[in-house]
Amino acid sequence: MSAHREGSLPSSPPPLAPAKSLKICDMVTIARLLNLTLVVPELDKASFWADPSNFEDIFDVGHFINSLRDEVRIIKRLPKRFGLRYGYQPLVMPPVSWSNEQYYLQQILPLFDKHKVIHFNRTDARLANNGIPLELQRLRCRVNFQALKFTREIEELGNKLIRVIQQKGPYLALHLRYEMDMLAFSGCTHGCTANEAEELRQLRYAFPWWREKEIVSEEKRAHGLCPLTPEETALILQALGFDKETQIYIASGEIYGSERRLAALRAAFPRIVKKEMLLDPDDLRQFQNHSSQMAALDFLVSVASDIFIPTYDGNMARVVEGHRRYLGFKKTFQLDRRRLVELLDLHQNKTLSWDEFSVAVRLAHEKRMGQPTQRMVIANKPKEEEYFYANPQECLCEGKDCADFFVPGNTTTFQ
C-alpha cells in the first residue's frame, strides 16, 4: 500500500478478503492520523494463493472512496508527477508491527519530508490493538463496517446463497480451517499420515517466509496452536449439544485429505452443505480461481449464520466474530483449543467418559460465546492479547465511557 505527502500506503499477501480488509482499515487510519493521501492498494498476486484479484474485484472502490471523503483523501493510483521520471524514488519499507500513533507521528511522518512517497510492503497487524485514541479506533470500525463493501456481484451471490440455506432452516457456519496451506504454514500434522506430514513439511520449506524453525506438531497442538481436525471437530460439536439434524455450512477451501477426512464429520452431521453444493456451477464460475472472492462468499454466509464456530482463530475467524458482535452479539463460539485438546485426549484414552467429556466441554465455553466483554489486554505482549477486530469494543457502545456496557467481571488484564 502506498502513501504520499500530498498525501499515499501498500498491501501484503493475505489469502482471504477479510484479512485484506483488516490491513486496509489500519492503513486508512494511519493515513488519517498523518494527514496523508492514501492510494487504493494493489493486492498481492505472487503469494502461495496466486489470486489475481485486484481491490476493485473484491470491494466497491467507489463506495470506499466516497464514504471516507470527510476523513481521508483516497485516490485510485499514484499521480505520475510522483514517479521515477520526475525524480521520486518511493521508500519501500514495512512499518513496525503493533505500533501506536506516536510511532507513526515521530518516526514515519518525518520520512515524508525526504521521500514524499512511502510504500508499505507489509501491512498486517501494523497498528496496536489498544492504547489508540478513541476517534482513531472508531475510524477503524467505520472503515471495517461501513466503507468496505464487497462488489455488487459478490453481495448478490452471497445473499442468494444465504437465502438458499435459510430456506432449509437455521444453520451453523463452521469455519473448518483444515486446508493444505494452513497445515503447511502452521506445521500441524495431527491426524495426517506419514506421507501427508512429509508433503506438508516440503510445502512449508518451499516458501522461505514460512520456514522460521522446525515445528513439533504435537507440542504445538498441546498448546492449542493448531486448528482442530475434522474428526476432533465432530466430537466437539456433539459435546456442545448439536445433533444430527443440525444444518452445518462449511466455510473453507478444499479440506486436506478431501472426503476421507470429512467422513467422521459427515457421519455425525449428515446435513452438511457447502457453496458448491447449493449453487449452480454457472453462479460460481466467475469466482473460481479467485480465492479471495470465494472467501468473501463464505464471510457473508458466516456473518449471517445463527451460530458461528471457527476451528482456528485466524483473520477470517476474527473478523467474522467482530462483525457478529457489531450486529448484536450473535452467538459465536470462541473455542479454547488448549483445553479442548486436553479433554479430547483424556476422552480418547478412556480417562473421561462421554458424559464427563461433554460436561467439561460445555463448562469450558459458557463464557466464550461472543457475549459483551472488554477486550483482553496483555501488557507488552500485543501478539498474545485479544485482537481489536475480534472485539472492537469502542465501536459497540455509545458515548466515551463504555465500561457499563460490558458484562461485569469480564474485564481481563494480564501484567
For residue range 350-370, what is the model confidence (pLDDT) as tens digits?
A: 999 999 999 999 999 999 999
CA 204 from centroid of its chain's CA atoms: 21
Residues 192-211: what's their mean pLDDT?
85
Q: In the predicted model, what is the mean pLDDT of the chain?
A: 88
Closest CA to 196 of 207, 206, 205, 188: 188
Residues 10-17: what's their mean pLDDT?
32
* Contact (CB, 8 A) for 304 and 169: no
Instruction: Report which of residues 109 and 5 the model is more confident about.
Output: 109
Q: What is the dihedral of CA 162, 165, 167, 172, to 10 degrees?
A: -110
At residue 402, the pLDDT reads 60
Q: pLDDT-derived band of residue 12, with 50, 70 and 90 as boundaries? A: very low
Q: Which helix (H) or strand (E) holds 250?
A: strand 248-250
Residues 264-278: what's their mean pLDDT?
96
Q: Is the pLDDT of residue 18 over 80?
A: no
The per-residue pLDDT for range 279-311, each reduced to its tens digit, is 999 999 988 888 889 999 999 999 999 999 999
Q: pLDDT-derived band of residue 411, with 50, 70 and 90 as boundaries? A: very low
Q: What is the per-residue burial (b if ≥16 Cβ within 10 Å, else e) of 213-248?
A: eebebeebbbebbbbbbbbbbbbbbbbbebeeebbb
At residue 256, the pLDDT reads 94
Q: pLDDT-derived band of residue 333, with 50, 70 and 90 as boundaries? A: very high
Sign of CA dihedral 49, 122, 382, 173: negative
Q: Is the pLDDT of residue 16 over 50?
A: no
Q: pLDDT-derived band of residue 89, with 50, 70 and 90 as boundaries? A: confident
The pairing of beta strand 248-250 with beta strand 172-175: parallel
Cell numbers standing for residue 198:
512429509
Q: pLDDT-derived band of residue 95, with 50, 70 and 90 as boundaries? A: very high
Q: pLDDT-derived band of residue 378, with 50, 70 and 90 as boundaries? A: very high
Q: Is the pLDDT of residue 210 over 90?
A: no
Residues 372-398: what's their mean pLDDT?
91
The per-residue pLDDT for range 211-241, each reduced to its tens digit, is 666 789 999 999 999 999 999 999 999 999 9
Instruction: Report which of residues 14 and 133 the model is more confident about.
Output: 133
At residue 412, the pLDDT reads 35
Residue 345 neighbours by CB distance under 10 Å: 13
Using a cut of 0.85, tell me whether the model's pTM lies above it.
yes
Q: Is the pLDDT of residue 178 over 90?
A: yes
